[in-house]
A and B are shown apart, each in its own frame.
Chain A
Amino acid sequence: MKAQYINPFLNATMGLFKDFLSLEVKSGKPAILENPKDLSEVSALIGLAGETTGAVVLSFSHDTALKVVSLMTGTKYAFLGSEVLDGVGELVNIIAGNAKKDLNDFRISISLPGVITGNNYRINWPKGVPIITIPFQSSIGDFTVNVSLKEAV
């Protein structure tokens, strides 16, 4: 997948964590997600539709999910309740919505976010399109942003 389709998601994630959550994050090299089941325990996903199709999944460990939503709201959370799941969903919504600004090849709409938790789940990614995983490191834990997007013909 071309960098021009990945960079908007990388930049939107950096902007969200650095500017809004005041959290220093370091991005690693984007790579193909070889095993789509290699996601963490809490994954927020959003679908992309319109002139192309795709999906974005933001994936955290249980502990990092609690910490990131605590940062977002200023409330300390001890378990994965509805508010934490809602917060994680909102984060992927912001990443996808913000990334649209730089995806100039298509006019797309984003779905409502959903959140999956657990250790053994499978996401129905778009068929025939590689999934690119972008790793991020932060003081509250590592996480990934995973993107699958059909390229313009």
Chain B
Amino acid sequence: MKIMIVDDSEVMRRIHRNTLKEQNIPDESMLEAADGAEALKMAISEQIDLFLVDWNMPKLDGLAFVKKLRAMGSYSETPIIMITSEAAKYNVIEAITAGVTNYVVKPIRGNVLWEKISPYIGKKGWAAL
């Protein structure tokens, strides 16, 4: 199983990675991308099982990335958790309409984030863990 962390902030990628590591998710199961364009390229070359995606990023933002991903047959049902500072109701509606599975507003503590992530990992039955 592969989890991709898509965030232009190096610090946020590290924080999310640490949250996953604390739950014994192995390093080799995590991929990182600094923007939607990079993430899209990576997702084409390797099938990803869960995405953690920021909204505001250069090149291709999180919303546009989600729309492109959903348009690809292989990612029509893959869980996508948007983790963003964007807290306005209209942002949440826009993201859900675009195909986001779950919407999480930053800042979020690691244990709370894990509560949001773990159901999707459970569904896939992460046998390796």
Binding site for B on A (CB under 8 A): 15-16, 19-21, 69, 72-74, 82-83, 86-87, 89-90, 93-101, 103, 107, 110-112
Contact = CB atoms under 8 A, between A and B. Distances in A.
Contact of B87 (A21, A73, A82, A98): A98
* A interface SS class: helix
A97 B9 contact: no
Given A110-B86, A112-B58, 18 more contacts: A20-B107, A69-B11, A72-B11, A73-B14, A73-B15, A74-B18, A82-B10, A86-B10, A90-B9, A90-B12, A94-B85, A95-B85, A96-B85, A97-B56, A97-B105, A98-B105, A101-B88, A112-B56
B116 interface: no
Nearest to A84: B11
Interface string B54-92: 001110000000000000000000000000111111110
Interface in B70-129: 84-91, 105-109
A97 B9 CA distance: 15
A85 B91 CA distance: 26
B85 A89 contact: no
A100 B9 contact: no
B8 interface: yes
A71 to B, nearest CB: 12
Nearest to B108: A20
Nearest to B88: A100
Given A86-B10, A89-B9, A94-B106, A100 B15 contact: no
